[in-house]
Structure 1
Amino acid sequence: MKKNLGEIIKQDMIQNRGYILNSLQLLKLILWEKYDPMKYLIFFRVANYCENSPKLIRGIVYRIYYHHSFKFGYEISPKTKIGGGLRLPHWGGGIVIHSNAIIGENCEIMQNVTVGNNALKSRDDVAIIGDRVTLCAGSKVIGSVSIGDNVVVGANSVVVKDIPTNTIVAGIPAKIIRYVNN
């Protein structure tokens, strides 16, 4: 069952804030907060939701979204499929995610993370990332790889091969350093 926009935004709020903002708090966030990743996530979700809207509406929403994308330092296409509960703990994060990437629910992405293609092999084949995955600062996920659920990718690691579920990986290239029981 596909979730609606409101449910996904609420899931993002719980991951980022620990609670759901009421209407007044949400309005304050959108109108007055300058640097809150939750504000960016709301604009991302709306732009993602408007992907199949009429051209005029999509154009207006995208313009607002790209303004905030530039302001926050995130390069995430509104076409990217990202599950609810995305946590971005740092604003000005330098995060780059390819438009064909698929990211599961309740994931956390730290600053300076890249999820991209391997230009030497294919410009369109990119990662599929499972649920409850943490991509630590500076990590890179390159090419057509699959990352299972409950995975932690260590800081400055480079993932170029598939990663199984319930693992912690680190290094260049990333290797399994521990299995985690859930």
Structure 2
Amino acid sequence: MSFFKIIAEDLSAALDRDPAARSKLDVALFYSGFHAIFFFRIANIFWNMKLRFIAKFLSFPSKILTAIEIHPGANIGKRFFIDHGLGVVIGETAEIGDDVTIYQGVTLGGTSLEKGKRHPTIGDNVIIGAGAKVLGAITLGDGVRVGSNAVVINDVMPNTTVVGIPAKPTFDKKSSNFTPYGTLEDVDPNLSRILELEKKIEVLSSQIDKIKLN
């Protein structure tokens, strides 16, 4: 697929997934997420040609202008959309499938100092909500939804919604519709209560440990 075809599909993805987008021209001129993707696509070509200095040179002004940092060595599929975008970080060995949407403050980060694979692999049709952190060389399967501010440190099975810190599954049925911020309305309320109780138990355990030390 040609470079211009890929860019055209990125523009279309923004129109399809953001009701505030009025036209492709609107997206091209005013969407920082698209600007970051556009510069990445160019820089990635040079990175794959082993012209690493040029790739980084092209990436740097994009980071300054958009406040979005995408390493030129990342592997990003078609129809990628970054909504709002401020504070997004995508690491060097991250792999992202087709039709993926991420929101502001998302980090696809590494947890290792090794030179090899250390960033996440994201499947197709994945949505990662605002502020979520996906860390390490883990895999998110196709159709995964990550709730806002979740911290994902383990593999996630396809068509699963995860929320919380650390992220845990709340919904395992495939969602055929686009769900903004990776949040589904029919998440099991009982599991939500369990997650809340687990957090309270952790706090109480910490307080008990402090009392024992005193």
Identity over aligned residues, as a percent?
Answer: 32
Residues 1:109 and 2:107 are matched in the alignment: no
Gaps of 5+ in 2: 17-21, 177-214
Q: Residue in 2 aligned with 1:8?
A: 6
Q: Residue in 2 aligned with 1:75?
A: 69
Higher helix residue share: 2
CA deviation map 1:5-64 (0-9, x unaligned): 22221221110124984xxx59x94xxx465322222111111122244849x62x6434
Gaps of 5+ in 1: none
Residues 1:41 and 2:37 are matched in the alignment: yes
Larger CA deviation: 123-132 vs 71-80 = 123-132
Residues 1:136 and 2:129 are matched in the alignment: yes
User: Could you tell me how far apart the structure 2 residues matched to 1:130 and 1:55 are?
Assistant: 28
User: Could you tell me how far apart the structure 2 residues matched to 1:118 and 1:64 are?
Assistant: 26
> Radius of gyration: which is bigger?
2
CA gap of 1:79–1:150, structure 2 versus 1, over 3 A, is same
| Matched residues, number | 169
1:176 partner SS: strand
For the Cα contact (< 8 Å) 1:14–1:85, is it kept in 2?
Answer: yes
Structure 1 length normalisation: TM-score?
0.81
Q: Which has the higher contact order (CA 8 A, sep 6+)?
A: 1
1:88 partner SS: strand
User: Could you tell me how far apart the structure 1 residues matched to 2:90 and 2:50 are?
Assistant: 25
Q: Residue in 1 aligned with 2:87?
A: 94
For the Cα contact (< 8 Å) 2:36–2:70, is it kept in 1?
Answer: no
For the Cα contact (< 8 Å) 1:35–1:72, is it kept in 2?
Answer: no
1:141 partner SS: strand
Q: Residue in 1 aligned with 2:156?
A: 163
For the Cα contact (< 8 Å) 2:140–2:157, is it kept in 1?
Answer: yes
Residues 1:178 and 2:174 are matched in the alignment: no
Residues 1:146 and 2:139 are matched in the alignment: yes
Once the two structures are TM-superposed, the CA of residue 175 in structure 1 deviates from its matched residue by 0.7
Once the two structures are TM-superposed, the CA of residue 133 in structure 1 deviates from its matched residue by 0.6
Once the two structures are TM-superposed, the CA of residue 116 in structure 1 deviates from its matched residue by 1.0
User: Could you tell me how far apart the structure 2 residues matched to 1:77 and 1:55 are?
Assistant: 14
User: Could you tell me how far apart the structure 2 residues matched to 1:83 and 1:17 are?
Assistant: 17
2:169 partner SS: strand
Residues 1:65 and 2:59 are matched in the alignment: yes
Once the two structures are TM-superposed, the CA of residue 146 in structure 1 deviates from its matched residue by 0.7
Structure 2 length normalisation: TM-score?
0.70
User: Could you tell me how far apart the structure 2 residues matched to 1:165 and 1:173 are?
Assistant: 18
Question: Which residue identity lines up with residue 143 of structure 1 in the other structure?
Answer: G
Structure 1 stretches of at least 4 aligned residues deviating more than 3 Å after TM superposition: 18-21, 33-36, 52-56
